[in-house]
Amino acid sequence: LLLNKALIVLVGKTGAGKSSTGNTILGEEHFQNAGSLESVTKTCDSGEVKNGDQIIKITDTPGMFDTGMSEEQLSAEIEKCIYKSAPGPHVFLLVIRLDVRFTDEEINTVKWIQENFGKDAARYTIVLFTHADHLKGKSLDEYIEKSKNLMAVVHSCGDRFHSFNNEDMSDCSQVTKQLKKIEKMVEENGGQGLCFLVLSFFIENV
């Protein structure tokens, strides 16, 4: 294994399914999930699980563009998430729902990551679509190709994407495939986590 401990941070707008995604990866109901468009996560929370010889640590973040939080509060809280993921994180999972309309907020989430952690942070980001059962036999590629804006978001993240059906936590294969994609991305980034990028970005902008 390239990573003895995989450090994952979940980002996305309110109601995207971040908490459910964290629970799917952990294989247990660790994160509180309202199952609605109302944000449950107001502060950073993390959980971890041992998967064979590998430890997986998930950090859930407050919803982007949540009207209940100012941009300053959100930035401060997500900065805490980064510290919780020291010495990583290895990857941001940008969580997007398949069963609701794609909006500018997803595009702005990628911009927010780049503005706060440097333009190269997209190299450490994978788009994760939730509610995969909504595809109803269609391929994920077909779904993405229907929206130029969605294609642009996926492309900005190195065309790395995956999908989860969070209603079926017994399907371990979807988690295994996601972890392999994370390993591949980390290998492409020279085996380093985002901490190297964040540190250099902060130094440059002090």
Domains and CATH numbers, the chain: 5-205 (3.40.50.300)
Give the full edge-to-edge strand order of the sheet including 5-11: 45-51, 54-60, 5-11, 91-97, 125-130, 161-163
Reported confidence tier of residue 201, pLDDT bands at 50, 70, 90: very low
Whole-number pLDDT of residue 36: 47
Q: Which residue has the higher pLDDT, 2 or 117?
A: 117
pLDDT tens profile 139-189 = 999 999 998 989 999 999 999 999 998 777 778 899 999 999 999 998 998
Q: What is the pLDDT of residue 202?
A: 44
Element (H, E) at 114: helix 104-117
- The whole-number average pLDDT for the span 196-202 is 50
The percent of residues above 70 in pLDDT, for the chain, comes to 86
- Please, what is the average pLDDT of the chain? 82
